[in-house]
């Protein structure tokens, strides 16, 4: 096992990793920017090293500074969390080249899945079903037209290097294709420095269902079931559930079997998430994330597993020690992302937290690095807390979440809590019958009121 782990992240996820390390008895090193000197992860870690000024590229993305921090503190492994360097294959490679362990997949697998075109080609070859679309990158607009005519409009032009919903444009009809093509490419070039794009049929009423997998270095792969992340605005998740209201146990087993056997053939290791769009009973793979996801707690709650602990054990070479038949699903979990944003416009609202009173009680979990007096810095992601509940049934989980949100007091900044409360009261949401397009319409209706 590792003697010391450096956590190359900030906020709630740095705390989340720190907690797992502490329970395993492993000392931790926090790294932080000058804007985060007072942050909770810095206060709670055994050691802390300042790695640069507020801007992420000079601190949390500064590979040389992070490796120096690991060297001077004698850390022998690095956990990247999510975001920042977590899906940077060069970083994973550099960490290992310095004799440290990167807690995650191999650099080759990160690279493979980071390119969505390669990811799709690989998954198709391994028997995973895809969204109909182009076979690879599109050479030119003419080729895009041919593929679009074949799969039928509407279509989506997507960036090969895409992430965070950027570099993605819909063409409703043939007349819109040229504009979607050029806007997607311009956006992709600006955001990722790579304007390679591909085309997918635009599904009009899918759910976003993703599967949590975990693979050890001895060839064993298991899955921890699905998460439903269909509640999105601007292609960004806001509320997640485990399991999906749309799936039954047999459908879960089927897609789980396809995913785990594909990853076994690939020789994948550590945590990963396969994302699918699910419509008319069909799963269509869209991408794989080679890291821990923001929404991993809902899986932990229904499977009674510590996914970060599993990541650390596997990175240290330990076998999973259990098989698929040992993984049981119990009850229903919901996560609400609490962002410091205006609940209708989603404009970030950084500021100082004057009052912070998190909810408690049976089946309630709060993952947050907030405290009263903390200044939410304007430089980073606006998510300031995750509220997760578990209950025996979906309806009870909704009631519990409502109750917990009512108890949650965060003063000093605006948050999206009022929007979550409205969603939880909505009959359509409560019925479980919603698609990835539902939330945008719901928010538009709220604005019109």
Which residues would be at the binding site for ligand ADP (CB under 6 A)?
A: 131, 156, 162-165, 200-203, 206, 208, 232, 235, 275, 277, 286-287, 436
39 and 32 in contact (C-beta within 8 Å)?
A: yes
Q: How far is the CB of 160 from ligand ADP (least distance, A)?
A: 11
Q: Which is nearest to 100 in space by CA: 89, 92, 108?
A: 92
- Other C-beta atoms within 10 Å of 201: how many? 19
Q: How far is the CB of 230 from ligand ADP (least distance, A)?
A: 8
Distance CA 34, CA 165 (A): 29
Instruction: Please provide the size of the chain in residues.
Output: 449
Residues with Cβ within 8 Å of residue 252, at least 6 apart in sequence: 225, 226, 243, 329
Bridge partners (DSSP) of residue 276 are 209, 285
**Cβ closer to ligand ADP: 133 or 256?**
133
Q: Which is nearest to 40 in space by CA: 13, 61, 67, 21?
A: 13
β 236-242/221-233 pair status: antiparallel
Q: How far is the CB of 346 from ligand ADP (least distance, A)?
A: 16
Tokens 């782990």 correspond to what residue?
5
335 and 386 in contact (C-beta within 8 Å)?
A: yes
DSSP state of 34: G
β 28-33/5-7 pair status: parallel
Distance CA 410, CA 366 (A): 13
**Cβ closer to ligand ADP: 208 or 223?**
208
**Cβ closer to ligand ADP: 161 or 391?**
161
Q: How far is the CB of 162 from ligand ADP (least distance, A)?
A: 4
Q: How far is the CB of 226 from ligand ADP (least distance, A)?
A: 14
**Cβ closer to ligand ADP: 255 or 305?**
255
**Cβ closer to ligand ADP: 40 or 119?**
119
Bridge partners (DSSP) of residue 29 are 6, 47
Write down the catalytic residue from 10, 291, 337, 365.
291
Q: How far is the CB of 394 from ligand ADP (least distance, A)?
A: 21
Tell me whether residue 291 is one of the annotated catalytic residues: yes
**Cβ closer to ligand ADP: 36 or 287?**
287
Residue 3 tokens, joined: 């003697």
User: What is the set of active-site residues?
Assistant: 291
């Amino acid at each position: 096992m590792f003697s010391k782990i450096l956590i190359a992240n900030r906020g709630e996820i740095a705390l989340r990793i720190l907690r797992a390390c502490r329970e395993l008895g492993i000392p931790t090193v926090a790294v932080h920017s000058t804007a985060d000197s007072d942050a909770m992860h810095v206060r709670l870690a055994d050691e802390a090293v300042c790695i640069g000024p507020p801007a992420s590229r000079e601190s949390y993305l500064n590979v040389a500074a992070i490796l120096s921090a690991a060297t001077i503190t004698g850390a022998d492994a690095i956990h990247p969390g999510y975001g920042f360097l977590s899906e940077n294959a060069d970083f994973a490679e550099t960490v290992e080249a310095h004799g440290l362990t990167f807690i995650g997949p191999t650099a080759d697998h990160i690279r493979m899945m980071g390119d969505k075109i390669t990811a799709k080609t690989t998954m198709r070859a391994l028997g995973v079903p895809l969204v109909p679309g182009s076979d690879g990158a599109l050479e030119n607009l003419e080729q895009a037209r041919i593929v679009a005519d074949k799969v039928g409009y509407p279509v989506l032009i997507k960036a090969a290097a895409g992430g965070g919903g950027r570099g993605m444009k819909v063409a409703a009809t043939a007349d819109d294709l040229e504009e979607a093509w050029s806007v997607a490419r311009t956006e992709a070039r600006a955001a990722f420095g790579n304007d390679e794009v591909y085309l997918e049929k635009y599904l009009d009423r899918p759910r976003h269902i993703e599967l949590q997998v975990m693979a050890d270095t001895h060839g064993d792969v298991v899955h921890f079931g699905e998460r439903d992340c269909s509640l999105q605005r601007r292609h960004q998740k806001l509320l997640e559930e485990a399991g999906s209201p749309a799936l039954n146990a047999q459908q879960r087993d089927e897609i789980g079997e396809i995913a785990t056997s594909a990853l076994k053939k690939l020789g994948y290791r550590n945590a990963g998430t396969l994302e699918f769009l699910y419509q008319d009973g069909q799963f269509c793979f869209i991408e794989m994330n080679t890291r821990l996801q923001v929404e991993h707690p809902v899986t932990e709650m229904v499977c009674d597993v510590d996914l970060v602990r599993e990541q650390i054990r596997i990175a240290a070479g330990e076998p999973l020690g259990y098989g698929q038949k040992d993984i049981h699903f119990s009850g229903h979990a919901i996560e609400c992302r609490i962002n410091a944003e205006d609940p209708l416009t989603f404009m970030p609202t950084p500021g100082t937290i004057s009052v912070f009173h998190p909810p408690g009680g049976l089946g309630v979990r709060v993952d947050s690095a907030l405290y009263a007096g903390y200044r939410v810095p304007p430089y980073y992601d606006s998510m300031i807390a995750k509220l997760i509940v578990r209950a025996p049934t979906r309806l009870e989980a909704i009631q519990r979440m409502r109750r917990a949100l009512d108890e949650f007091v965060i003063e000093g900044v605006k948050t999206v809590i009022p929007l979550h409360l409205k969603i939880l009261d909505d009959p359509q949401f409560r019925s479980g019958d919603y698609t990835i397009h539902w939330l945008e319409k719901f928010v538009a209706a709220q604005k019109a009121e």
